[in-house]
Amino acid sequence: MSPVTITARDGLALPSYPTLPVGAEPAGLPLVLLVHGGPWSRDSWGYNPVVQLLANRGYAVLQVNFRGSTGYGKAFLRAGIGELAGKMHEDLIDAVEWAVGEGYADRDRVAIFGGSYGGYAALVGVTFTPDVFAAAIDFCGPSNLVTFLRTVPEFVKPQLVNNWYLYAGNPDDTEQERKLRTRSPISRVDEIRTPLMVVQGGNDVRVVKAESDQVVEALRARGIEVEYLVKDDEGHGFVNPENNIDVYRAADRFLARHLGGRPDTR
């Protein structure tokens, strides 16, 4: 794991962390872009079991603190206002271009993987920029920002004023609702041609199961490959060890099939 600064297309400095697999030639590797949730969160230096699993399988892993991430000052945080599926996503694409330009990532073998906001980012990746990624994994990500914001629990709604309503929009305002729909992956679901894996907790009250169902149903109706893993005893993020083992074994096989990594055959 190394700390680097990637420069976005508009000059913003993006603190990032590439991790390279031990013992592999650092050239032309399959790359997993691992996107943190929130989006008001951050990636930081330290042990991450998902990163280490992926590196063990032969993938380069890239974590990017895109604009809107926390921990880098108010200007960096506020740079994400109004930029969902916009500059926040462009930061991720610029990071992929950086990894390819550095020579360690194979442009044709890049996956995007994330949970919650990271799952939304994965869906944005395969709908807004479908030519960039060879595979995508969405872990409990919202696909429709309007329905997502209308179905969050009542106790969460007062908190939305200074985060989701400020950064993305309030669905109760007609013009803001329109913008939310244009920034929603479901509005471009017909653009998806990338192999997709969707993971969802059946008891998730923050990002309800319908957010995943509508994407999966639309793709299956078109005959597009989508692997859908639902655990009814999980909420927003999995906590049961047996379920996490199932998810990451499935993700391991999925990425190996589409990126050519080394799967665990046990």
Q: Which two tokens stand for residue 214?
A: 């509508």
Which amino acid, residue 139? Answer: F
Residue 236 a catalytic site member = yes
Q: CB neighbours of 76 closer than 8 A, spacing ≥ 6?
A: 12, 67, 68, 69
Q: Which of 173, 169, 166 is nearest to 148 (CA)?
A: 169
Strand partners, 201: 231
Query: In which region does residue 131 sit, left (phi positive, over 0), alpha (psi from -120 to 50) or beta (all else)?
Result: alpha
Q: How many CA atoms lie within 13 A of 260 on its CB side?
A: 10
Cα diameter, the chain: 55
User: How would you class 221 by CB atoms within 10 Å of its CB: exposed for 0-12, middle for 13-18, buried for 19 or more?
Assistant: exposed
Q: Which two tokens stand for residue 259?
A: 């990126």
Write down the catalytic residue from 43, 106, 204, 252: 204
Residue 204 a catalytic site member = yes
Write down the catalytic residue from 116, 143, 187, 212: 116
Give, for 126, the enclosing helix (H) or strand (E).
Answer: helix 117-128
Which amino acid, residue 176? Answer: Q
Residue 116 a catalytic site member = yes
Strand partners, 198: 138, 228
Residues annotated as catalytic (active site), given as ranges: 116, 204, 236
